[in-house]
A = this chain, B = another copy of it.
């Protein structure tokens, strides 16, 4: 099976850039998307210069149309607009939503949306038949950007095991351990945990607290 082409919508943000960097480095073909093609091209050039490998770019809708998997890495406030912009291009494909429902200014307080979690909101916004998996909620983007080892597991949620497995392989390509964590509704756990981790960072004056699941074998790295 050939490698999938991955579009990162919101590829100019911290998490999107860090993931795009790691995936490109691992040999995957990554397209950088943003609301405007200019911003996407700038980020693609920056990542490409660091890796000495050119990256393609375009608007979120353009890169979504050319990809097999679309990773959405945008702030909660932009989630619905960005998902609507890729809705048509992403129909029937795999969309990996990374949205954490942080509501400033109280980002240390869990405030899940009325749908139950951002992942269920994503599914409601996307076209029927689009596969939705959520992941990468608890990874500190600035640590991911450094290229070092991340002391944090990735909980991967989705209603279809095969689609979760594709994302667990993307975790591995980024140097992360992904774990099957149940259906899309379970995404509430990881989304809520991000506020807890921000609280712990502040309370214990640490940088980038993470979560590790004890028990499962280290099967995914």
Contact = CB atoms under 8 A, between A and B. Distances in A.
A28 interface: no
When all copies of this chain in the complex are counted, the total is: 2
Which range contains the number of A residues in contact with the other chain?
A: 35 or more
Interface string A138-179: 000000000000011001000000000000000000000001
Given A109-B182, A199-B181, A216 B189 contact: no
A5 interface: no
A40 interface: no
A180 B108 CA distance: 12
A182 B195 contact: yes
Interface in A169-221: 179-183, 185-186, 188-190, 192-193, 195-197, 199-201, 203-204, 206-217, 219
B219 A215 contact: no
Interface of A: 108-112, 116-117, 151-152, 155, 179-183, 185-186, 188-190, 192-193, 195-197, 199-201, 203-204, 206-217, 219
